Every structure is written in structure tokens, then in C-alpha cells.
Structure 1
Amino acid sequence: LEKGKRVAIPLGENPYAEGRKGEWRDFFQVGEENGRVQIRRVKALSPKPYTPRTERLAVDIGLSPLIATDRGDLLGRGFLRLLAAYDTEIQTIAKRAQREGRKLSQVPEYREAMGRLRGFLKNEVNRLLNRLVALHAPAVLVVERLDLRSPELSRRMNRLLSNFGRRYLKEKLARLGELYGIKVVEVNPAYSSQACSRCGYVDPRNRRDTQTFVCQACGHRGNAQVNAARNLLRRSSPEESVITFTPKRETLRLLLRRYAERSRPGSRLRPGIPGGRSAALEQVWGKNPYLKGFPDLLRTLG
């Protein structure tokens, strides 16, 4: 290589990209994976005929399952289990390489396992989002700010998920927009997993575990991710748009205040809380750990 002189780099064929209808663009993507430079030519895909059947569909992205919707769909229920198997394999290889004093980039087994993991992530993301479009044909997809992590996985796997999983999700969502004209709306997910989609009550005790949601105020029970997806759907509406750009602490204050206003006697938005407002304050509201950070709000309601 000589500084200032052009270098011709031949590119291999990509049968998948060659087989898709569209127009090749005059630029390339250059990246690095496992110590190897990856160069990809960009192709703009031709739009496909598409008739939406659902005006707006909200999606909660998790790991068990990977996707839950406000309609109650649970897609990718075995995703976390399969990820854990990859995690165990990769951790075993990494520990052995460390004992032997080898760099992971020089371990063929590690590169092969990483390639299979990336292929699995990409295939699952594409398959499940395609399934979602086939089921509901949404005009708008409402999603949260993507954050794929789990305490059940190693730090290494969570880092890989954050990098590759999030990238594949964003790429697929962009492709759905390009192919079908599906608009993607991103909303603030703050406390969506702890807020009741029925009455609006926010409490960390509402979410029993990754699967179970039980509202401390109105008793609503359901799948935790489906409940979160329904909250995301509500936040995508114009009247809720303030939440999108509100800092997390102020979002919590706003949600608590809105619940309090709805629970007042005579309010047309009042949720069905057993025992009325006094019981809610004594049995539920007064015990809410979040109110310790908002004593002024607690005094106002008291």
C-alpha cells in the first residue's frame, strides 16, 4: 500500500442481495467484525404492494419472548433459552482461551460460534417481524428505545446483544418501512413495564417478574410485556407526546400525578379501586416506594 494511491478491492457476489428487486446505490458500508473488514454495497429495495389492516401496533421488545404486542401476541418464546445456550458455549470458549493465553480473535471456535450467534439473531429478528407484519399488517409500528439486556446472561452476551441485536432490529424496521411503507414511531419506555395499562397506577411491585404483571391498585393481571406494549401504544398518541421527551424522573412524577387525578371522587376517569379513594391512599398509594421521592405529591394527595 502506498499513501495517496488508490487500491482496487474486488467484492464477492451476494446471491441474496442480487435476487432482491431494487436499485444499487453508489456508496458502500465499511465495518469490522471479528478483526475482519466487511465491505457491503448498498441496494435500495423496491416497494411491495401493501394494504394495512391495523392502524397502529405497539411492540415491546424483550428476550422472553423477544416480541410482545398490545394485541396479546407473544413471539419468540424460546429466544432467551437459545441465547443462554449460545452464552454458555461462548463463555466456555473464552475461559479456555484465557487459560491458554490466546486472544479470542485467534481462536477459530470462537469466531465460528460468534458467526452462528449473529446468524441466529438476524434470522430470528427477521422471521418474527415478518410474522408480525403477516399477522396484523400495521400502518404504524410503535416501538420503545431498544435496549436488549438480561440479568440471566453474561456481560459479554449482553454487550453482544446490545451491539448486534439492536442493529439487526433497527435494520429490519428500516427495511419494513422501505418495502411496505410502514412508519416506525419510537416512544419513551420509562416505567412502561411498571405502569398498569388499565388504570395507570405506577408501582415497582406491579411487575412480579419478567412474565407476570399484577396491579396493586385495580388488581389487573396479565403478561408483563403485553401490558408494557399497551402502555407504549397509549404513549404514541398526540395527547401523550409529552412523555416522549420528558426526563425519567419527571415522567414518573407526571404518571403518578395523572393517576392521582383519575382516582379523585367524581372524576370521570376514576379507575375501579376497591374501597374508593381513602382505601387506595391507605392501602396502596401510601405504600408506594416511589412516593418517597415526591413528598410534596404525597402531602397534596393526603
Structure 2
Amino acid sequence: MKRKIGAVIGIDLGYAEMMATSEQELLGTDLGKYFSEIADKRGKNSEGRNRMHALFRSLLKKTSKDNLAKAERIRKHNLGRKKQRARYIRDIGVIKTVVNRELNFLFTRKTNPVKAIVVEDLSARMKAHFCKKWNRWLSGWMRGYLQERIRYKAKKHGIEVNEVNPAHSSRECPRCHCTDKKNRRGDVFKCSYCGYHEHADLVAALNILGRLGDKEIRKGMSPSRVKAVLDGRHVGWKLLNDTVTDRTSDEARVVDESPRSASSKSDLRSGVQVCTAS
């Protein structure tokens, strides 16, 4: 049964922080640390296994009994999959715990409950903001697991899921719609045109929420077409705000330089002096 009471929030999915919401929340901020640790361990283990494989192959080329026995020991104790599989299950278990903890917190909280979420198109490729050392396997697994958990837990708690086109959501300024590449530097967003600044993932969450019901930016549109729409909105924002700014400046200048206002002030001072003399 769907919830009828609560907020509709936008969610930006990430890696270093699992989620950012349009209500200025960062959830799963410890996820990046765990990803980095897992990636480091996987890298070191791969290097060690590669060395053992090289040694194993070189020993097999030597036909002496001792070398063949040593090669067999390496194959049995260093090149097996059992320990590697156990390590994988343990590491993935940590990530699953973080993901489920944060989703449970968001979907079951009593204060400011959520009735619907707006997320990026879950069938689309996830934005690659993760560190270079986080390998493709890890990012691909995380993508699939987040998709499954969001759908499952949202349905379980009666929360509506709305999917939108996320193209350029992390670069778009929520104030003036500028999508300059310079707007985002890591976790920092600062608009190169109007100066709006905020945590980059929080900006993306605001933009994703804004895509709900957007008739111009639809799911499945190419990023280039989305960019064209946003560029048009940016031009419109500039024209409107430049006009308002110029009009305000002109009105202020007219008031300051008006002869009528100057004479009124002079008359007022004269009136005060006459009254005082009498």
C-alpha cells in the first residue's frame, strides 16, 4: 500500500557518499572508505597472485622433482579460489550492511517521512565519479545492488519511485541552469556564471528532483539534447535577470537625479526655517 503522507525527495546515487538528497542530506558517507579499502586489498592480492602464477609457470618448465613439488604446493596454497571467495563475501557483506542501513533509515524514519523518491533512471549507466583505483567490477556490482535494494525496499515500505533522466544533473546550476564543465570540481560545485555553490552531490539531488514532471527533459533523451534544453534555459535566465538588473539600476538613477526630488528637499528645509523664525 502506497504512503499518502510524507515528502517527495530527489536522490543522487554515488560512491564516496552512497546518497545525497534534495533535503541537503548526505547518507552513507562511510561507503567511500570501505570501497577504497576493498579496492586496495584487491589490488595487492592481484599483484601477489600474479607473482605466484609467474613462479608456478617457471617451476613447471623445470623437470626436477623438487621444482615440480614446489609448483604443486604453490598451486594448492597460493592459487586456490577458496580464500579469495571467502574474502570477497566478507568485503561485500560490509558494503551490503551500509546500503541497507541507510535505505532503512531513509524509508522508515518518523521525522519528515518520505512518500516518494525521484532517482536517476535505474536502467541507465551510473555516473562514474568514483576514484580511479576503484575497479570496474566493484562499481558494476554496486550499481546493480543499489538498483535492486531501492526497488525492493521502496515497494516494501509503500514508497513511490519516479525515475528521471539524470544527464548533466551534477553540472547544472539549480539557479541559472549553466552547465559549464568547470562548475564541478570533485565534491565542490560552484557555478562559473552566477556563483551558486554547494556540495556537488546535493546540487545533483536538487536537479534530479526538478526533473520530475519536466516535459522537456524526458527519460531516454541523449545527453546532448538535454544539454541543448539546459543551455536554452540558461539563456532565458540571463535575459530575464539582466533586464531586471538594468531596470532596477535605471529606476534608482532616476530617483537620485530627479530635479523634483531635489526641489522637494529644498522646500522642506525652507519651510522648517520659516516656522522656526516666526
Distance change (3 Å), C-alpha of 1:174 and 1:151 = closer
Output the TM-score relative to the length of structure 1: 0.65
What are the ranges of 5 or more consecutive residues in structure 2 without an aligned counterpart?
54-74, 248-278
* Structure-1 residue corresponding to 2:160: 183
For the pair 1:152 / 2:131, whether they are aligned, the reply is: yes
Distance change (3 Å), C-alpha of 1:131 and 1:125 = same
Structure that is richer in helix per residue: 2
* Structure-1 residue corresponding to 2:82: 108
* Structure-2 residue corresponding to 1:219: 195
* Structure-2 residue corresponding to 1:67: 19
Q: Is the 8 A contact 2:52 2:79 kept in 1?
A: no
Larger radius of gyration: 2
Output the TM-score relative to the length of structure 2: 0.71
Equivalent of 1:161 in 131, 135, 139: 139
Q: Is the 8 A contact 2:3 2:159 kept in 1?
A: no
* Structure-1 residue corresponding to 2:103: 129
After superposition, give the CA deviation of every residue in 1:232-253 in whole Å (9 maximum; x if it has no partner).
00001x2345332321111111
Q: Per the alignment, in what secondary structure is the counterpart of residue 89 of structure 1?
A: helix
Q: How does 1:1-302 map to 2 (within 5 A)?
A: 52-54=5-7, 56-101=8-53, 106-133=80-107, 134=109, 136-145=112-121, 147=126, 149-154=128-133, 157-162=135-140, 164-209=141-186, 211-236=187-212, 238-240=213-215, 242-264=217-239, 267=240, 270=241
Structure that is richer in strand per residue: 1
Q: Is the 8 A contact 1:214 1:222 kept in 2?
A: yes
Q: Is the 8 A contact 2:121 2:219 kept in 1?
A: no
Q: Is the 8 A contact 1:142 1:185 kept in 2?
A: yes
What are the ranges of 5 or more consecutive residues in structure 1 without an aligned counterpart?
1-46, 277-302
Shift of 1:137: 2.5
Superposition RMSD in Å = 2.8
Q: Which amino acid aligns with 1:230?
A: L
* Structure-2 residue corresponding to 1:293: none
Task: Return the structure number with greater relative CO, CA threshold 8 A, min gap 6.
Answer: 2
Q: Which amino acid aligns with 2:86?
A: E
Q: Distance in 1 between matches of 2:232 and 2:208?
A: 19
Q: Distance in 2 between matches of 1:275 and 1:216?
A: 21
Percentage of matched positions with identical amino acids: 26
Count of paired positions: 220
Distance change (3 Å), C-alpha of 1:65 and 1:274 = farther
After superposition, give the CA deviation of every residue in 1:145-183 in whole Å (9 maximum; x if it has no partner).
35264452436x332231x21222122222223322211
Q: Distance in 1 between matches of 2:99 and 2:82?
A: 26
After superposition, give the CA deviation of every residue in 1:130-149 in whole Å (9 maximum; x if it has no partner).
11121542221111135264
